[in-house]
Amino acid sequence: MTDTIRVALAGAGAFGIKHLDGIRNIDGVEVVSLVGRVLEKTQGVAEKYDIKHVTTDLAESLALSEVDAVILCTPTQVHAAQAIQCLEAGKHVEVEIPLADSLVDARAVVEKQSESGLVAMCGHTRRFNPSHQWVHNRITAGEFNIQQMDVQTYFFRRTNMNALGEPRSWTDHLLWHHAAHTVDLFQYQAGSPVIQANAVQGPKHPELGIAMDMSIQLKTESGAICTLSLSFNNDGPLGTFFRYIGDTGTYIARYDDLVDGKENAIDVSQVDVSMNGIELQDREFFAAIREGREPNASVAQVLPCYEVLHDLEQQLGA
């Protein structure tokens, strides 16, 4: 590998563009190939970001000798298979959340990473958002311990649209995608595995075939509890909001903003080199490649999250 890490990015949609914007701020990294589902649209994105190679076939990008690493921003249903494909081609890989939509597939990725020795990371962005990093730093310093987390993940998505308001070619999922953020973050921040998990869900959408509302309860071995409410039916403020209730304070994280329990703002601008969680996530991926180490949010580290999701799926009979 040269001093510059050369990257292929698969998925030229809303989240792929977020990665391209973040990578622009990272020295020593160049996106040399862009993979998309529709060639003309992908070419338009490639021109904007000065990417020379464009294709609709991931295998074509993996065959390029100059490609060192791949970032997958493709539909959930192909994450695991494509991550394995990248590792088998000798490429480091960062796959967007979720790692897989089944425990069997998630374990297969972890096993392939172990065999290959390559860097394989999953985009559990909440670990990297400065607001959550600030809380994590207090926890690791012994200044704060979580007693309860209350989390709301709300969208208004009654049709199959992406974050840009464009039609999706695949179906999103409250459990295997959106709950994965919180399940992983809760275990990461509590520093303790989930030992009890319960879930209920509302009716399934007649066309999309997925539950549009869900409620999840979690408890860790350390005794911390979490209540997570998720909805695709919420016509109001959108996104995910986290309330940390602990032994020395209460903190509310709204993406990259953080306030205390009395809504006093907490400055998190100096927590890391950027306020962009996606950029920080990518920086960790590239740093791990350069340093030959396991990254934060490696596929092995996040596997316990998918074990919990599997148990919840069994409860729901999904």
282: domain CATH number is 3.40.50.720
Same-domain check for residues 256 and 198: yes
Share of the chain above pLDDT 90, in %: 87
pTM: 0.94
Question: 115 burial class (0-12, 13-18, 19+ CB within 10 angstroms)?
Answer: exposed
- pLDDT of 162 > 80? The answer is no
119 half-sphere exposure, CB direction, 13 A CA radius: 24
Average the pLDDT over each of 165-169, 248-252, 275-279, 309-313 and give the range with the smallest value.
165-169
Instruction: Say yes or no: 144 and 257 in one domain.
Output: yes
The whole-number pLDDT of residue 115 equals 98
Alpha-carbon gap, residue 181 to 153, rounded angstroms: 10
Tell me the Cα Rg of the chain: 19
- CB of 238 closer than 8 Å to CB of 224: no
CA–CA dist 50, 32 (Å, integer): 9
Question: Alpha helix locations (H) across the chain?
Answer: 14-23, 39-48, 58-62, 79-88, 103-116, 130-140, 179-190, 277-291, 299-316
Confidence of residue 243 (pLDDT cuts 50, 70, 90): very high
Rounded alpha-carbon distances, angstroms, from residue 118 to 1, 93, 307 = 13, 8, 23
Cα–Cα dist 226/153, whole Å: 13
312 in a structural domain: no
Measured between alpha carbons, how far is 32 from 8 in angstroms, rounded to an integer?
A: 6
Q: Which of 94-108, 153-167, 178-192, 264-278 has the lowest mean pLDDT?
A: 153-167
Residue (of 62, 86, 118) closest to 300 by Cα position: 118
pLDDT category, 31, cuts 50, 70, 90? very high
Are both 72 and 188 inside the same structural domain? Answer: no
Q: How many domains does the chain have?
A: 2
249 shares its domain with 138: yes
Are 154 and 101 in a shared domain? no
Residues 134 and 261 in one domain: yes
Q: Return the DSSP state at 204.
A: B
Cβ-based neighbour number of residue 84 at 10 Å: 20
pLDDT tens by residue, 128-156 = 999 999 999 999 999 999 999 999 999 88
The size of the chain, in residues, is 318
DSSP-derived pairing of the beta strands 225-231 and 239-246: unpaired
Pairing of strands 5-10, 29-35: parallel
**Pair 149, 230 in one domain:** yes
CATH of residue 180:
3.30.360.10
Pairing verdict, β 69-72 and 53-55: unpaired
Asked if 144 and 190 sit in the same domain, the reply is yes
Please give the residue range of the domain that contains residue 32.
Answer: 5-125+277-298
- Residue 162 sits in the same domain as residue 139: yes
Over residues 54-76, mean pLDDT? 97
Predicted confidence band at 241 (pLDDT cuts at 50, 70, 90)? very high
Does residue 68 sit in the same domain as residue 138? no
